[in-house]
Structure 1
Amino acid sequence: MAVETGSAAPDFTLGDLNREQVTLSSLWREKNVLLVFYPFAFSQICQGEICQVRDELAGYSDENVQVVGVSVDTPFALKAWAEQQGFTFPLLSDFWPHGEVAKTYGVFNDIGGMANRGTFLIDTQGIVRFAEIVSPREARDQANWKKAVAALRG
């Protein structure tokens, strides 16, 4: 079952691309968090989405939002991808136990062994203020994310 708007965000700790441990609650205590699940690094739709986030990162930062990407890729694949594409926000590896955090958020795709495209905006109290899940083959409309971020202000 997917995490829904208005519910408490399940906390987790995952390794980043440098294998440093990152805990979600430590992030949302400092800033709102836009948690972006995606299937795989280097895949066409994922690259388009995450590059758009990279290109528009200042808009999220200006709104006191920390963007965090999560996939089932290994930290080594995430590091290579981040270096290739110039990603400066955290990319977390849900590789092992395989997809456990994606399962907790209700976005794990059992057939493909990957995360569906799930987006969750978590406020500084740890409450989910926006939730969206689409299939791996469907690119997300990031304008919806920006509307949700703007709604936190007002």
Structure 2
Amino acid sequence: MTEVQHAPAPGLVPEVGQLAPDFELLNQYGEPVRLSDYRGGNVVVVFYPFAFSGICTGELCEIRDNLSTFADSNATVLGISVDSKFAQRAYAEQEQLGFDLLADFWPHGAVAKEYGVFDASSGMALRGTFIIDGFGVVRYVVVNPRGQARDFVEYRRALADLE
């Protein structure tokens, strides 16, 4: 097993091999979701700028349409944006997203900041993806610039590497 480093300081993107910063946020139903509760299984944390935006909808619907890929790798998907739980719920219902969407609403973007993907100039999260193994260790990281969608094929490769 790779040597585990301590979680990064706020504002720095966690690197592969580091412990993922733990967090607790409310999902679209107002239920608390804590990252550390998923120990023993893999977690795919997907930060996205805003609910109802074009690229985000395309990315999250691709995940929705391929949830079996994540399930086959014992992975739970957690989507996170700075939207409120109310916006998250409306978005999840409209797009029929079958996974938790978490509200990093207040303090605004606090978890995105811990993961180094908060864009303070626009008040939104960047497109950051973190695949975390059952021990809480980051195994895959990608942060895409504004306007650039993530490559779903990369998820498959990263998840396959966990097996």
Aligned to 1:43: 53
Matched, 1:21 2:32: yes
- Structure 2 letter corresponding to 1:94: D
Aligned to 1:81: 91
Aligned to 1:53: 63
Secondary structure of the corresponding residue to residue 141 of structure 2 = strand
Identity over the aligned pairs, expressed in percent?
51
- Structure 2-normalised TM-score? 0.92
The list of structure 1 runs, each at least 4 consecutive aligned residues, that deviate by more than 6 angstroms after superposition, is none
- Structure 1-normalised TM-score? 0.97
Aligned to 1:64: 74
Measured in 1, the distance between the counterparts of 2:146 and 2:76 equals 23
Measured in 1, the distance between the counterparts of 2:156 and 2:51 equals 23
Aligned to 1:98: 108
Measured in 2, the distance between the counterparts of 1:143 and 1:109 equals 26
8 Å contact from structure 2 (residues 40, 135) kept in 1: no
Measured in 1, the distance between the counterparts of 2:69 and 2:155 equals 11
Measured in 2, the distance between the counterparts of 1:69 and 1:138 equals 17
8 Å contact from structure 2 (residues 24, 33) kept in 1: yes
Q: For structure 2, which runs of at least 5 residues remain unmatched after alignment?
A: 1-11
RMSD over aligned CA atoms reads: 0.7
Measured in 2, the distance between the counterparts of 1:106 and 1:145 equals 20
By how many angstroms is 1:30 displaced? 3.8
Q: For structure 1, which runs of at least 5 residues remain unmatched after alignment?
A: none
- Count residues with an aligned counterpart: 152
Measured in 2, the distance between the counterparts of 1:79 and 1:68 equals 14
